[in-house]
Amino acid sequence: MINRDRLVQTFLELVQIDSPSGEEAEFREEMIRRFQALGLTTEVDDYGNLIARLEDGSGEYLLLSGHMDTVEPGRGIKPVIRDGVIYSDGATVLGGDDKSGVAIILEILQLIKDHNLPHPPIEVVLTVEEELGLQGARNLDMSRLKSRWGLVLDTGGGPGKITRSGPSADKFLVTIKGRGAHAGLRPEAGVNALAIAAEALVRMPLGRVDYESTCNMGVIEGGTARNAVPAEVHLFGEARSRNNDKLALLSQIIINALEQTTARWGGELELEHVHNYKAYRLPDDAPIIQAVVKANKELGYEPVLREGGGGTDGNHYNAAGIQTVTVSSGQAAVHTVDEHLPIDDFVGCAEVALKTVMNMAA
């Protein structure tokens, strides 16, 4: 059903329109033009996210989502096809993250239009600044959306990969203030911020905490000179869990370690604790899971339900009550200049997405 040549052609056109994060306007204009030509209504929210709707169809609205922005180096992308795989020319990323997903959405809409295929009403959301930490989805007014279920086309691998859960993540920006002093002449006048940080760190459960939780302190900065008691240290870290209660507990352990250690040394703590997104896990009997699993089986692909370890726009849709799974669009080696898109995977993922859409028609 998927028109392979057209899908590839669309993709090649899309990646040649620059859209690094924060500079999506030109790409968005092109998408508005294409959606309107396919009979969709379009609107742009205050943050720059594009919402387009195909209002006819039977059943509940189905969300199809991807993001418009790409990471750097992502300007002047020149795609080349070699042995059935699309690459960049090596100077930039390819932009398959996530223009492969966007191209698949366009192909599905084209096929629905040309062949009058059974389908639910469709709500397309293309976000901005996904690569800056899901900023577009975070700032999207979810009350505007009509969808009950959703499909985010934005992960790697061939067809069959279905991400059915996502972790919560908390970010910690920590400043530990001690007191500076000459380390040789008057060390007793100082409070060593580095020592406070070290003691707090050994009290944190870093690494894989359990099968669904992780914790990391990734950056430490501080101190000025060998012979000066360091007055200030910065720590930058995170905790993740697919279980919101566990995350809350994990975060509390980290905060306690910082607060108690700092107090014991007579230092001062400044803590910015950001709750990044909310965990979700779709049950086996969620209609969208069943529709994707069925689509894979109908096409002869082995459906693999995966637990997600990272954030996607799907976290925000699920938090808003739209049951959303993330599926592959074929992208590979993303965020590197070796990024590529195997065309067979790309087409297979498009077939799965199309079948899923058709399965969601009432």
- Residues of this chain, 154-173, that bind Zn ion according to CB under 5 A: 154
- Identity of the residue, 97 or 107, whose beta carbon is nearer to Zn ion in the bound complex: 97
Query: Judged by CB under 5 A, which stretch of 91-99, 113-121, 204-212, 318-326 contacts Zn ion?
Result: 91-99
Q: Is residue 24 involved in binding Zn ion (CB under 5 A)?
A: no
- Residues of this chain, 198-227, that bind Zn ion according to CB under 5 A: none
- Identity of the residue, 192 or 328, whose beta carbon is nearer to Zn ion in the bound complex: 328
- Identity of the residue, 102 or 217, whose beta carbon is nearer to Zn ion in the bound complex: 102
Query: Judged by CB under 5 A, which stretch of 18-26, 72-80, 92-100, 140-148 contacts Zn ion?
Result: 92-100
Binding mask 43-82 for Zn ion (x = CB under 5 A): ----------------------------------------
Query: Judged by CB under 5 A, which stretch of 12-20, 26-34, 70-78, 97-105 contacts Zn ion?
Result: 97-105
What is the dihedral angle through the alpha carbons of 328, 332, 335, 336, rounded to the nearest 10 degrees?
A: 180
Q: DSSP labels for 236-271?
A: EEEEEESSHHHHHHHHHHHHHHHHHHHHHHT-EEEE
Q: Is residue 98 involved in binding Zn ion (CB under 5 A)?
A: yes
Binding mask 119-158 for Zn ion (x = CB under 5 A): -----------------------------------x----
Exposure class string for 225-261: b at 16+ Cβ within 10 A, else e: eeeebbbbbebebbbbbbbeebbeebbeebbebbeeb
Spatial contact of 154 and 84, defined as CB atoms under 8 Å apart? no
Spatial contact of 152 and 65, defined as CB atoms under 8 Å apart? yes
In the complex, what is the shortest distance from the CB of residue 281 to Zn ion, in angstroms, rounded to a whole number? 21
- Identity of the residue, 172 or 317, whose beta carbon is nearer to Zn ion in the bound complex: 317
- Identity of the residue, 97 or 123, whose beta carbon is nearer to Zn ion in the bound complex: 97
Count the alpha carbons within 13 Å of 134 in the hemisphere toward its beta carbon. Answer: 18
- Identity of the residue, 98 or 232, whose beta carbon is nearer to Zn ion in the bound complex: 98
Residue 170 is among the residues annotated as catalytic for this protein: no
CB atoms within 10 A of CB 83: 7
Q: How far apart are CA 160 and CA 328, in angstroms?
A: 8
Query: Judged by CB under 5 A, which stretch of 96-104, 135-143, 224-232, 266-274 contacts Zn ion?
Result: 96-104
How many chain residues bind Zn ion (CB under 5 A)?
3
Q: Is residue 313 involved in binding Zn ion (CB under 5 A)?
A: no
Q: How far apart are CA 93 and CA 86, in angstroms?
A: 11
Label residue 278 left, alpha or beta by phi (over 0 means left) and psi (-120 to 50 means alpha). beta
Spatial contact of 207 and 197, defined as CB atoms under 8 Å apart? no
Query: What is the DSSP secondary structure assignment for residue 43, as one 8-state letter?
Result: E
Residue 29 is among the residues annotated as catalytic for this protein: no
Distance, C-alpha 302 to centroid of its chain:
24
Of 98, 129, 130, 313, the active-site residue reads: 130
Return the sign of the alpha-carbon dihedral for residues 219, 138, 29, 46. Answer: negative
- Residues of this chain, 269-288, that bind Zn ion according to CB under 5 A: none
| Residues labelled catalytic | 69, 130
Residues that bind Zn ion (CB under 5 A): 97-98, 154
